[in-house]
């Protein structure tokens, strides 16, 4: 296998943490988004959509989305389970992973890419350039506040995002909450359940990667 990573971006970090939690050592090739290497011909030969992460399997299949990478690794290396054991658990992990992506990851990305000068013509990742829409940045920032409320409500009743065990959903949520610092959003001090969860996940070795 070969893993295409970018040490500064949140989505590759999600896959990097998943790989580490599985205890795997996979050959890694670093792609610098800051230098625009994801848009170069060499990388686009691997992933024409010019996005990271990418996992190329032993069979030569290029998996270009976090959920595809996680599903492949979970099927091939089922222990420790990170996507649930029972049908209910599997459903909850994917449900919460989707909620976190839509309610957390998307508005954080909208805020950053529609407000930061570095993304003036790159408001959406991929091979096509799109101009910023400032109103989307404003809406995104408001949605991030709601995301923190959503997490607090959930974590006040559950030790982890999807249930009793650490899973893919926690990786996704942790990376996005941590990355929210780039838009100057942090967990509110009154959100005690979320703060305790964030500290607990942050103590895991994978979170240091």
Peptide bond into 121 cis (omega under 30): no
d(CA 33, CA 95) in angstroms, rounded, equals 30
Mean pLDDT of 75-92: 98
pLDDT of residue 19: 98
Asked if residue 53 lies in contact with residue 66, where contact means CB atoms within 8 angstroms, the answer is yes
Q: Say if residues 5 and 30 touch (Cβ distance below 8 Å).
A: yes
Tokens representing 42 are: 């060499």
Summarize pLDDT for 117-141 with one digit per residue, the tens. 989 989 999 999 999 999 999 999 9
Find the mean pLDDT for residues 149-176. Answer: 98
Given this model, what pLDDT does residue 138 score? Answer: 96
pLDDT, tens only, 10-38: 999 999 999 999 999 999 999 999 999 99
pLDDT the model gives residue 3: 98
């Amino acid at each position: 296998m070969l893993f295409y990573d970018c040490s500064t971006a949140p989505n590759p970090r999600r896959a990097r943490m998943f790989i580490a939690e599985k205890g795997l050592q996979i050959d890694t090739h670093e792609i610098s988004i800051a230098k625009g290497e994801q848009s170069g011909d060499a990388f686009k030969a691997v992933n024409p959509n010019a996005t990271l992460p990418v996992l190329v399997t032993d069979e030569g299949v290029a998996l270009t989305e976090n959920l595809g990478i996680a599903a492949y690794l979970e099927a091939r290396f089922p222990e420790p389970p990170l996507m649930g054991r029972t049908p209910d658990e599997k459903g909850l992990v994917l449900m919460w992973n989707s909620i976190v992506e839509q309610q957390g990851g998307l508005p954080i990305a909208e805020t950053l890419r529609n407000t930061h000068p570095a993304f003036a013509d790159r408001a959406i990742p991929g091979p096509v350039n799109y101009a910023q829409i400032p109103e989307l940045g404003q809406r995104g920032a408001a949605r991030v506040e709601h995301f923190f409320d959503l997490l607090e409500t959930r974590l006040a009743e559950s030790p982890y995002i999807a249930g009793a065990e650490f899973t893919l959903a926690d990786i996704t949520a942790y990376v996005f909450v941590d990355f929210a610092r780039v838009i100057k959003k942090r967990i509110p001090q009154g959100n005690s359940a979320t703060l305790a969860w964030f500290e607990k996940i942050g103590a895991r070795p994978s979170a240091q990667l």
